[in-house]
Structure formats: structure tokens, C-alpha cells
Amino acid sequence: MAEVDKTQLAQFLLRMGDNTLILGHRVSEWCGHSPVLEEDIALANTALDLLGQTSLWLGYAAEVRGTGETADDVAFLRDAWDFRNLLLVELPNGDFGRTMMRQFLFDAFHSVLLGRLLQSSDQTVREIAEKASKEVAYHVERSADTVVGLGDGTEESHARMQAALDYLWPYVGEMFASDETDRALAAAGVAPDPANLRDDFDALIGKVLAEATLHIPDSDFAHKGGRTGAMHTEHLGHILCQMQWLQRVYPNANW
């Protein structure tokens, strides 16, 4: 097993934590605005799960970085170009169908990844993955059921879900883009190479989308740059303005 470089390990932890942080914030925007009360509660609970996972990933990232930071510092005191989340999770919610399609695509990827992380050579990564995987097993079951219910529902709901899938599909490929950090961590046994997750992901979503009578777009094009920090959409800056303003205006404020 290769030795783990702390800088590369921290990058991986930021990628994990930033995904759940930004998606958790996005999902929380539905609180009080969902189509029905049951969905309002379910989405709020999903957001809470994601934010709880964020605290663990970013807390470990702060520890590995060794700069005396906390998880809150890492979340609230970085600028957009320092974030390492997938572009998919920072996209606007759109209608309820687009939100649930985005959730399903991420949940499917997340569940496959966490399953591999249960075998990580890093004990803390294993422990976080074990906790998170229990929550994500419910997330992917629920989002898949919703995609099927809407996709194979009315003519209107089917059309909206197909439009959501068409819109989001170009952001899926980034999940499986590998770089030097991924290869180094795979060699060390800390985390899988994302490229090796694609077959399991395709099998999972293929079964669900077929049941939902939805057609997977025939395109390999993928927007990239979020997980490396090379590029983010304009939407991330707006998210951070909402999420970070209190800490920025009143540093170290306590309730």
C-alpha cells in the first residue's frame, strides 16, 4: 500500500464534504415550499443528513490540514474557487421534478462510492462512510421511488422528469473523472478511483430509469471543473453569499 499524502487526502475529504454541504444547502431551500407536507419534511430530513455528513468530512479535512481550523471554518471561510464539489450539486433546484432527479443521480453515485469506502485503509474514512451509508441507503431508495412515480405517472410528470434528466445528464460524467489525487488515494487503498464506479452506477440508474419509462440521453459530454476547483458555475457564488454571510459579517458569532 502506498503512503498517503496529506494534501491529497485533504482534497478527497473536501470533495466529499463540499458535495454534501452544497447539496444539503440546495435541498434545504425547499423547506416550506414543497408540493406537499410529507415532501417538505422528507427533504428537510435529507438536508439534515447531508449537513451531518458534511460536519464529519470537513472536520476530518480540518484535522488532516493541521491548521487549527474547525469544520465550520472550512465551510464558512473559503471562497468559491476553494470549493471542490461536483457542478451537479450547485445547480438551481428548478421544479420539484428536477430537484428529485438531481437527488437520485447524486444518491446513486453516493451510495456506490460509500459502499467502496467501507473498505478504506483509513479508519476515520471507514467510520464516516459506515454512518453515512445507512442514511444514503434511505436517500437513494426514496429518490428512486419518486423518480419512478413521476416518470411513469401522468403525461405532465413524465415530460418534466425527462426534461430534468436531459438537463442534468451533462453533469453526470464529472462524477467519474479521475485525476492524480484519485489515483494516489486508490493506490493507497483510501478511496476508489471514481472511474471504476461507473459500471455499478449505470446498472443502478439504468434499472430505475427503465422502470420510470425515461430515456437516458445518448451523449458522453460532461461539464467538469468543480471537483478540481478549476471552474464552478455562477450559482455557487450565490449559494455562498446566503450560506456564509452571518459568519463573514459577525466572525466567530455564537448563538
Confidence bin at 35 (pLDDT 50/70/90) = confident
Task: Report the pLDDT value the prediction gives residue 220, as an integer from 0 to 100.
Answer: 93
Angle made by CA atoms 205, 236, 242, in degrees to the nearest 5: 120
First to last CA, the chain: 45
Average pLDDT, the chain: 96
Asked if the model's pLDDT at residue 255 lies above 80, the reply is no
Q: What number of residues does the chain have?
A: 255
Task: Report the pLDDT value the prediction gives residue 2, as an integer from 0 to 100.
Answer: 64
- pLDDT tens across 216-249, in order? 999 999 999 999 999 999 999 999 999 999 988 8
pTM of the entire structure?
0.96
Give every CB contact of residue 88 below 8 A, 6+ residues apart in sequence. 102, 105, 106, 168, 171, 172, 174, 175, 226
- pLDDT tens across 49-96, in order? 999 999 999 999 999 999 999 999 999 999 999 999 999 999 999 999
- pLDDT tens across 118-136, in order? 999 999 999 999 999 999 9
Instruction: Identify the CATH homologous superfamily for domain 6-249.
Output: Ferritin, core subunit, four-helix bundle (1.20.1260.10)
Three-state DSSP state, 217: coil
Task: Report the pLDDT value the prediction gives residue 34, as an integer from 0 to 100.
Answer: 87
